[in-house]
Amino acid sequence: MDDSRASHGLIQWHGTTIIGVKKSGRTVIAGDGQVSMGNTVMKPNARKVRRIGALDESGKGKVIAGFAGATADAFTLFERLERKLEQHRGQLMRAAVELAKDWRTDKYLRNLEALMIVADAETLLILTGNGDVLEPEGGIAAIGSGGNYALAAAKALSDYEDDPEKIARRAMQVAAEVCVFTNDRVTLEEI
């Protein structure tokens, strides 16, 4: 784990890039597939973005989530968030706040090394182990080692592109070209 902190106080994880873009009534979360251990690519096609929560009419989860950080820790957080969504009848904001409270105060959860971007049809959020539930300004959020590259690219594209999928895919391409811990095998989910 790299424990250096960006100026905004979030831990920056090596080995991934996740971006969320909310625009024109649509929300997408995209993530690369690279899993690195030191200088070695262990797996090039991991799925770091997935659907969770109650199913919609098409049989897909109503919430999309992407993670940066330790895989086992992220799966633990996905499971916890799904339980919170069940407890709070699919209300993402309330479930996210409750998860963040637990994540910050629970002795076991406090040690989990991951960040998450989560979204439903109305909300896009970044969740951190510091207890933060952040709703990004401008509808663009990015985490991970290539997050700042993807964020900058998406913000630049957002002024003249209305399609959030195109913005996310191009931002991921930029991150993959610049960040050695990010590849071009993108998983994307849309709400």
Residue 7 has pLDDT above 70, yes or no: no
pLDDT tens-digit series, residues 123-179: 999 998 788 899 999 999 999 999 999 999 999 999 999 999 999 999 999 999 999
Q: Of residues 16, 27, 128, 187, which has the active-site annotation?
A: 16
Residue 105's pLDDT band (cuts 50, 70, 90) = confident
**Is pLDDT above 50 for 3?**
no
Q: How many domains does the chain have?
A: 1
| Domain with 144 in it | 17-182
Q: In this structure, is residue 132 part of a structural domain?
A: yes
Answer for the pair 166, 186: CB distance below 8 angstroms, yes or no. Answer: no
At 43 the three-state DSSP class reads strand
Residue 125 in any domain: the answer is yes
Query: 30-85 pLDDT, tens per residue?
Result: 999 988 877 888 888 989 999 988 777 777 789 999 998 877 888 888 898 999 99
Confirm whether 42 is domain-assigned: yes
**What is the tens place of the pLDDT at every residue in 121-133?**
999 999 987 888 9
Look at residue 126 and tell me if it is in a domain: yes
Which has the higher per-residue pLDDT, 78 or 26? 26
Q: What pLDDT is stored for residue 114 in this prediction? A: 80
The verdict on residue 189 lying in a domain is no
Evaluate whether residue 4 is within a structural domain: no
Report pLDDT for 73: 82
Position 14 scores a pLDDT of 53
Active site residue 16: yes
Establish if 167 belongs to a structural domain. Answer: yes
Question: Measured between alpha carbons, how far is 130 from 93 in angstroms, rounded to an integer?
Answer: 17
Question: What is residue 128's predicted lDDT score, i.e. its pLDDT?
Answer: 86
Question: How remote is the C-alpha of 156 from its chain's centroid?
Answer: 20
**Closest alpha carbon to 31 in 51, 4, 54, 55:** 51
CA 83 vs CA 57, 94, 113, 126: distances in Å: 20, 12, 20, 18
Residue 3 falls within a domain, yes or no? Answer: no
Indicate whether this model's pTM tops 0.75. Answer: yes
Helix (H, G, I), strand (E, B), or coil: what is residue 56?
coil
CATH for 70: 3.60.20.10
Q: Supply 5's token pair.
A: 């902190």
